């Protein structure tokens, strides 16, 4: 049995009625030819005309034998006819329908010369003259009495009787003996023709390209929940909850833009400074929008009202209690500085009396919006709202920031109202085991170098999240990142990897996130949840993964 390329005809070929004759010839050649023969089915080629123009074609079958050489075969089914007056070839099928076809002899001859030319140009080819013939198999047509033309002797045609009863003998006869001026194809020639006509290859698609495509699809989803803002536009106070990736920050920004465009004075506030920096960067073109962390806002009002900040107080007491008191006192001094709209992002980070203080900074009849995370396994079963703020609860149910594979990992650490992923499937989450901190950061460095130099991921699309500032100082970024620049989350230096703590990156996201699962992270449910959910298209966890991979 001959060695066939492909080994088996795929369903799309066998089910194609237009290829039924070729399938019949394939099976016959496979059955009657001996093991020493190799048969290549449907081999396309691209060549040049004498004018240098591109010319493409296809050889139905190429038969190769180490002692006999190569045979290029063209196959035509049905009853074949040729009209020299019109230079017209036709085939009549079993239903009597006549089809116009190409000149099979010309096709076989062109394929022979084009394949020979490419074979001679191959690095695997040893220059020599070999037997290379061409022929036409007409399995449905009867043999005529005489030659059909000067270039069409009967000897180059295999007709119905030959095909059915002696195809092996006919192939041997057509390939003929090696002439004195010719050399056998040999095993090296068989390898060369196989390398030309059946060379396997696998092209690498950089991860960077895949992630960019996934990111583009994710970006198209971010506007799908804007209808919620329209639905609640006349409701004075509303709390909008949802898990990571449900678009809370995007909605908060859109609400700020809509209200500012309506001529209102808007405050968009959060707890995290890096998040505030990004919000400011994206909204700086809109007049009427103030972006600040809660404590920055308190300090600004204190400065304008001439109220001194008592820095002698313990840090926790100062930021947790004194700052909101100062804000309330300052607003009383500066009543005209109140806002028409106050929007809180990442509201789960706010203490109830911070929200109460913000309520004092809101004009009568103004609008209050709080966006917060609904993960009950990390935060309280429901965010504690001050009793003097009556808010309408609204739940976001679609994850439009993460790929589905990242969403699945994050959901293992989420408990709350159901969230459905609508983003692309994405690539697999990577889990890289490492024990010691030194090993963790060494493997992170190796992975980043692979992403940047082999997978074409921009450094600015990569974020490394670490549990604590202590980890950052101890990991020596210069040593494991080497020549790749890095930055903190609130530094917008271009083309640099972001390296920061999970808590400081809260509310932000990145195309690629590498989470360092060191001992300081393990057991911190909030940091694990936040860290895993920051990646939009690719998540890599390095370290003690058994404590995170659920």
- Are residue 45 and residue 152 in the same domain, yes or no? yes
Looking at residue 213, its pLDDT comes to 86
Distance CA 40, CA 5 (A): 5
Q: Within this chain, do residues 176 and 249 fall inside the same structural domain, yes or no? A: no
CA distances from 88 to 81, 100, 102, 114, 135 (A): 8, 7, 8, 24, 19
Q: Which of 382, 397, 412 is the last residue of a domain?
A: 397
377 lies in the same domain as 425: no
Record the tokens describing residue 347, joined without a space: 């509201």
Task: Tell the residue number behind the tokens 């095993």, with chain if given.
Answer: 187
C-alpha 542, offset from chain centre: 21
In the chain, helix, strand, coil percent, each to 5?
A: 40, 25, 40
Residue 95 lies in a domain: no
420: tokens are 């459905």
In a domain, 89, yes or no: no
Q: Are the CB atoms for 541 and 430 separated by under 8 Å?
A: yes
Q: In this structure, what DSSP letter does residue 146 have?
A: S
pLDDT of residue 164: 92
Residues of the chain above pLDDT 90, percent: 48
Q: Which pLDDT value is given to residue 56? A: 67
- What are residue 212's phi and psi, to 5 degrees? -65, -40
The reply to whether 85 falls in a domain is no
What is residue 229's three-state secondary structure? helix
Specify if 391 maps to a domain. Answer: yes
Query: In this structure, are 46 and 173 located in the same domain?
Result: yes
Q: 505 and 371, same structural domain?
A: no
Judge if 521 and 467 occupy the same domain. Answer: yes
Those residues of the chain that have pLDDT short of 70 are 45-56, 200-204, 222, 377-391
Pairwise CA distance, residues 189 & 195, whole Å: 10
In the listed set 397, 416, 447, which residue is the last one of a domain according to the structure? 397
- 60/56 Cα distance (integer angstroms): 13
Query: What is the token pair recorded at 321?
Result: 């209690």
- Pairing verdict, β 69-75 and 54-65: antiparallel
22 and 150 belong to one structural domain: yes
H helices then E strands: how many in the chain? Answer: 19, 23
CATH number at residue 379: 3.40.50.300
Rounded Cα–Cα distance for residues 129 and 108 (Å): 19
Looking at the structure of the chain, the number of domains it has is 3
Q: CB under 8 Å to 314, separation ≥6 — which residues?
A: none
Contact 526, 378 (CB under 8 A): yes
User: Residue 54's pLDDT is what?
Assistant: 65
Tokens 């180490």 locate to 66
Closest CA to 271 of 530, 55, 449, 533: 530
Whether residues 25 and 156 share a domain: the answer is yes
Q: Pull the structure tokens for residue 495.
A: 């083309």
Q: From 370, 397, 424, give the residue that closes a domain.
A: 397
**Following DSSP, what letter does each residue of 376-435 receive, concatenated?**
TTTS-SS----TT---EEEE--EE-SS-HHHHHHHHTT--SS--EE-S---PPPEEEE--
Between β-strands 38-48 and 54-65, what pairing exists: parallel, antiparallel or unpaired?
antiparallel
Q: Which residues contact 94 (CB under 8 A, 6 or more apart)?
A: 78
Indicate yes or no: pTM above 0.75: no
* 180 shares a domain with 279: no
Question: pLDDT by residue (tens digit) across 265-292?
Answer: 999 999 999 999 999 999 988 999 999 9
């Amino acid at each position: 049995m001959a060695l066939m390329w492909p080994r088996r005809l795929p369903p799309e070929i066998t089910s194609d009625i237009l290829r039924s004759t070729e399938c019949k010839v394939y099976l016959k050649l496979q059955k009657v030819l001996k093991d020493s023969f190799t048969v290549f089915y449907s081999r396309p080629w691209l060549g040049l005309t004498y004018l240098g123009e591109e010319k493409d074609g296809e050889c139905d079958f190429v038969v190769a034998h180490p002692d006999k050489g190569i045979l290029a075969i063209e196959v035509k089914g049905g009853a074949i006819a040729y009209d020299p007056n019109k230079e017209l070839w036709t085939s009549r099928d079993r239903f009597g329908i006549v089809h116009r076809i190409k000149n099979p002899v010309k096709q076989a001859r062109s394929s022979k010369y084009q394949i020979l030319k490419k074979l001679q140009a191959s690095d695997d080819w040893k220059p020599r003259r070999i037997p290379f013939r061409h022929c036409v198999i007409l399995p449905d047509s009867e043999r005529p009495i005489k030659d059909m033309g000067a270039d069409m002797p009967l000897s180059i045609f295999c007709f119905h009787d030959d095909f059915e009863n002696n195809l092996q003998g006919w192939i041997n006869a057509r390939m003929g003996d090696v002439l004195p001026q010719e050399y056998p194809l040999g095993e090296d020639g068989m390898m060369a023709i196989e390398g030309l006509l059946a060379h396997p290859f696998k092209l690498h698609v950089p991860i960077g390209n895949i992630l960019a495509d996934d990111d583009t699809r994710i970006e198209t989803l971010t506007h799908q929940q804007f209808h919620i803002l329209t639905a609640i536009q006349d409701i004075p106070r509303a709390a909008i909850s949802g898990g990571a990736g449900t678009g809370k920050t995007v909605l908060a920004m859109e609400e700020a833009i809509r209200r500012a465009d309506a001529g209102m004075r808007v405050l968009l506030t959060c707890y995290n400074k890096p998040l505030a920096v990004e919000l400011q960067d994206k909204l700086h073109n809109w007049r009427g929008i103030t972006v600040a962390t809660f404590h920055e806002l308190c300090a600004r009002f204190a400065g304008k009202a001439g109220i001194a900040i008592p820095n002698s107080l313990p840090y926790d007491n100062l930021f947790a209690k004194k700052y909101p008191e100062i804000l309330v006192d300052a607003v009383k001094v500066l009543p005209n500085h109140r806002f028409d709209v106050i929007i809180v992002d990442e509201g789960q980070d706010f203490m109830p009396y911070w929200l109460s203080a913000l309520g004092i900074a809101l004009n009568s009849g103004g609008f209050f919006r709080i966006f917060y995370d609904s993960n009950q396994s990390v935060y309280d079963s429901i965010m504690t709202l001050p009793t003097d703020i009556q808010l309408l609860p609204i739940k976001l149910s679609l994850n439009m920031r993460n790929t589905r594979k990242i969403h699945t990992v994050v959901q293992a650490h989420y408990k709350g109202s159901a969230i459905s992923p609508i983003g692309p499937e994405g690539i697999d989450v990577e889990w890289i085991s490492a024990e010691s901190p030194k090993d963790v950061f060494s493997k992170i460095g190796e992975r980043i170098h692979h992403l940047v130099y082999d997978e074409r991921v921009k450094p600015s699309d990569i974020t490394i999240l670490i549990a604590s500032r202590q980890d950052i100082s101890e990991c020596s970024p210069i040593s494991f990142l080497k020549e790749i620049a890095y930055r903190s989350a609130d530094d917008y230096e271009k083309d640099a990897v972001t390296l920061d703590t999970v808590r400081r990156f809260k509310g932000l996201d990145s195309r690629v996130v590498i989470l360092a699962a060191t001992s300081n992270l393990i057991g911190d449910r909030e940091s694990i949840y936040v860290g895993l959910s920051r990646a939009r298209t690719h998540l890599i966890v390095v370290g003690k993964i058994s404590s995170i991979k659920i």
